[in-house]
């Protein structure tokens, strides 16, 4: 009975972490689909989400919804600037070079954040108190419910956007074939810009819902980015349902192994899974057969 409760508890916390991994993974997929590059700065978007929210909410004492909205705007602007500046201006459009530019952007953002916000870990108060709710015998924090709810809203919203709106369809067309999209008159450049902006916004949301649970610091981005990337790979890189499945799966595995086996090697496990997937089924859980470059 206690083991059952423990497992249930780990499952819940795993799903909570997993939802944020899913959001980060979707961010990776968006940019990958539009441009074919792996955006290493994705994790920094998440870190910035936490940091901006702390600045707006805890320091400037803005009301939470306003702070939330401003944070999404700010990090989306960082994504937009990343595309408009370094990526657009790069003299070589080779994927490898562009990927490394995002690595450079990632450590620059990290370095700047250290100067702006210092080296100490910071945290946010939970959105609505911290009295746990008891569910089937397991305690669940209200923040976890927020995390689930916001993730579901974002995923459903994105799903509608991609399936139901013209811009969303255009973005999918770019992902399917950049050249054909261009030929049909879709402004590909603008779609790429949009994908970076969206990824920034997604990172911001992930960072805001995560920070009350795990705290954040200037160097939190690399690890979160990698977890999100592992989630995306695990589910099938470039696919949105894949990122969600992969994220939840990774979160649960991580939490179970940390709780039942050893918490010291928790982070190692995520990458062990990543390596295993790359070795045996590089197309991921939901991936369809052959890999190709977009």
Binding residues for other proteins, per CB under 8 A?
38, 86, 89-97, 99-101, 103-112, 114-115, 222-223, 226, 229-230, 233, 264-265, 267-268, 271-272, 274-275, 278-280, 282, 291-293
Give the burial class of 7: count Cβ atoms within 10 A of its Cβ; 0-12 exposed, 13-18 middle, 19 or more buried: middle
Nearer to other proteins, 166 or 280 (CB): 280
DSSP track, 161-175: HHHHSHHHHHHHHHH
Nearer to other proteins, 22 or 273 (CB): 273
CB of 86 to other proteins, least distance (A): 6
CA dist 84 and 192 (Å) reads 10
- Strand 133-135 with 138-140, pairing: antiparallel
Nearer to other proteins, 139 or 223 (CB): 223
CB of 156 to other proteins, least distance (A): 29
Instruction: Give the bridge partners for 129, in sequence order.
Output: 127
Nearer to other proteins, 160 or 271 (CB): 271
CB of 149 to other proteins, least distance (A): 31
Listed residue (280, 200, 225) closest to 25, CA to CA: 225
CB of 104 to other proteins, least distance (A): 3
CB atoms within 10 A of CB 168: 17
Nearer to other proteins, 260 or 291 (CB): 291
CB of 50 to other proteins, least distance (A): 19
228 touches 251 (CB < 8 A): no
Q: Alpha carbon of 74 to those of 70, 80, 197: distances in Å? A: 6, 10, 10
CB of 69 to other proteins, least distance (A): 29
170 touches 181 (CB < 8 A): yes
Q: For Cα atoms 94, 96, 102, give the angle at the middle one, nearest 5 degrees.
A: 105
Nearer to other proteins, 86 or 241 (CB): 86
CB of 279 to other proteins, least distance (A): 4
Nearer to other proteins, 96 or 131 (CB): 96
Listed residue (9, 59, 10, 60) closest to 258, CA to CA: 10
């Amino acid at each position: 009975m206690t083991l059952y409760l423990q497992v249930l508890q780990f499952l819940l916390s795993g799903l909570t972490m997993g939802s944020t991994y899913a959001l980060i993974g979707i961010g990776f997929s968006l940019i990958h689909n539009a441009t074919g590059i792996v955006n290493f700065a994705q994790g920094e978007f998440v870190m910035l989400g936490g940091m901006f929210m702390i600045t707006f909410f805890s320091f400037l004492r803005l009301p939470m919804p306003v702070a939330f909205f401003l944070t999404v705007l700010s990090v989306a602007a960082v994504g937009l600037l990343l595309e408009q500046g370094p990526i657009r201006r790069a003299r070589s459009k080779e994927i490898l070079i562009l990927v490394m530019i995002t690595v450079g952007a990632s450590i620059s953002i990290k370095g700047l954040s250290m100067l702006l916000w210092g080296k100490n870990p910071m945290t946010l108060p939970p959105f609505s108190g911290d009295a746990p709710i008891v569910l089937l015998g397991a305690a669940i924090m209200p923040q976890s419910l927020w995390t689930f709810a916001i993730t579901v809203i974002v995923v459903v919203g994105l799903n509608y956007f991609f399936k139901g709106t013209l811009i969303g369809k255009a973005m999918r067309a770019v992902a399917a074939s950049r050249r054909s999209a261009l030929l049909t008159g879709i402004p590909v450049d603008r779609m790429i810009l949009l994908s970076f902006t969206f990824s920034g916004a997604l990172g911001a949301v992930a960072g805001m819902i995560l920070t009350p649970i795990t705290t954040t610091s200037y160097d939190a981005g690399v690890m979160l980015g990698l977890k999100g990337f592992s989630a995306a790979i695990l589910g099938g890189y470039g696919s949105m349902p894949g990122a969600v499945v992969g994220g939840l799966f990774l979160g649960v595995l991580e939490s179970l192994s940390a709780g039942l086996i050893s918490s010291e090697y928790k982070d190692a496990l995520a990458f062990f899974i990543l390596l295993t997937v790359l070795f045996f089924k590089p197309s991921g859980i939901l991936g369809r057969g052959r890999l190709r470059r977009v």
